[in-house]
Chains A and B, each alone.
Chain A
Amino acid sequence: MSGTGPLGAAGAVLRRDLTLFFRHRSDIINPLLFFIIVVTLVPLGVGPEESTLRVMAPGVVWVAALLAAMLSLEGIFRSDFDDGSLEQLVISPQPLALLVLAKVFAHWLVSGLPLVVLGPVLGASLFLPDRAMGTLVLSLLLGTPILSLIGAIGVALTVGVQRGGVLLSLLVLPLYIPVLIFGASAVSSAAAGLPVIGPLALLGALLALALTLAPLGAAAALRISLS
């Protein structure tokens, strides 16, 4: 076997990124702390009454998850760009889109999945009814990969720009709106006992679209940003 094929390379990228993330824990922990803090700010601002918080719970948890996911996007390409290993990825014979998908998957495992796990805990703190917990987890499970995938395109576009953080949020947030709408409405429908299959199906469709197109877009954006 003359060296590993594309899948081997993608696996190597995934393992390397996970190793890097686990050796540099602060990149993982900070967005999660941000997620928790933002959600705890809401009752302080709006008032602790259960009635108001219960109505706002789905929206608050989803907006906080979206912001936390966006905060951690820098970690996908920034360190590779700084030390030059991003160029090695671009000139490797393996398809760049697949390597980007591996990097985004590693980033999601480290930043998106914890949001899914933390979601119900914070939902409960906002008096989200128990019957909505399942839908909250499912909607976050479908939604956070889309956030990472679309965010990867934004990060790939702004990787060459110094202080690209604010610019990244301006590019990426409008594209996050459909995910927010479907995610939050799925959870609020569940809270109200309404059927949730509609918004969740639409989230699944967005995920399918993002999974197929986003890596190609991010790969093209990377080649452009590096040139």
Chain B
Amino acid sequence: MKRVQRGEVAIPTSITRRLWAFFHRLASPRYFYELAGKLVPWLGWGTVLLLAAGLYGGLWFAPADYQQGDAYRIIFIHVPAAWMSLFVYVLMAGAGFIGLVWRIKIADVVAKTCAPIGASFAFLTLCTGSLWGKPMWGTYWVWDARLTSELILLFLYLGYIALESAIEDRRTAARASSVLALVGVVNIPIIHYSVDWWHTLHQGPTVFKLGGPSISLDMLVPLLLMTLAFKLFFFTMLLVRARTEVLEREANSAWVRETVTSQ
């Protein structure tokens, strides 16, 4: 190990080589298929545990909100779903970019399989948002800035999925939808800003602070637990869908025939 002067970080080359080898191997569909297969059970059980803890904490343990009573408990699925819908879109655009530039097939697979999960999160956010709006604002749908942005995000997802399925050739479809995702990800902040600007222009800023000036700890913990649970759930189902997609794309190769007929 080289002597490390203060302030200079020498990452031993063995680690970078092993890291690079890992990513390189990850690009090979078969290795990805097997690795994903091993990970899915672990991630699955992790999700179940986190969900149980989060739901218990959020629905049973957390105190009622001084303003809204128990109606606020919807945030434990509304807020994580909103965060996840945005996170998945950015991840999808990133995977698409990698697939587009370095032509790594697995990146295209990940990008394609992200979309339906992200869309379901966006849809969940909208449903819970409107159900939460009824007790709070009196109507199921109010053109609130965040809800409108979420609705537009759902349209972006649907546009992505529609384009991906409209083009027959699998590789062209992946590359075309990657470009769309990149254009979309550039537009998301613009749309978000313009909708906020439009909202404040017409209705003035709605003062809504989550559970009073500062959210109390026993509300925050379940929220973080649920957010982690959503993230883990997303990766689990992403790997499950990705494995199927890999099987379909590599249908001609021998290892797929072997794994398919062995069961």
Please list the residues of chain A having a beta carbon within 8 angstroms of any beta carbon in chain B: 150, 153, 157-158, 160-161, 164, 167, 170-171, 173-175, 177-178, 181-182, 185, 202, 206, 209, 213, 217, 220-221, 224-225, 227
Contact = CB atoms under 8 A, between A and B. Distances in A.
B172 interface: yes
A193 B241 CA distance: 55
Given A160-B167, A170-B162, 13 more contacts: A150-B183, A153-B179, A157-B163, A167-B162, A170-B159, A173-B155, A174-B152, A174-B184, A178-B187, A185-B198, A185-B201, A221-B176, A227-B172
B191 A177 contact: yes
A167 B187 contact: no
Interface string B149-177: 00010011011001100110000100110
Interface residues of B, number: 27
B194 interface: yes
26 contacts: A150-B183, A153-B179, A157-B179, A157-B180, A160-B167, A160-B172, A161-B166, A161-B167, A164-B166, A167-B159, A167-B166, A170-B162, A171-B162, A171-B163, A173-B155, A174-B155, A177-B152, A182-B194, A185-B198, A202-B194, A209-B190, A217-B179, A217-B182, A221-B176, A221-B179, A224-B179
B176 A225 contact: yes
B50 interface: no
Task: Please give me the 4 A-B residue pairs with the lowest Cβ-Cβ distance, nearest first.
Answer: A178-B194, A174-B155, A171-B159, A181-B198
A91 B162 CA distance: 29
Given A157-B180, A174-B156, A225 B166 contact: no
A214 B84 CA distance: 28
A224 B155 contact: no
Contact of A178 (B172, B184, B191): B191
Interface string B173-212: 0011001101110110011011101100100000000000
A50 B182 CA distance: 44
Contacts of A209: 190
Contacts of A224: 172, 175-176, 179
Contacts of B195: 177, 181
A217 B176 contact: no
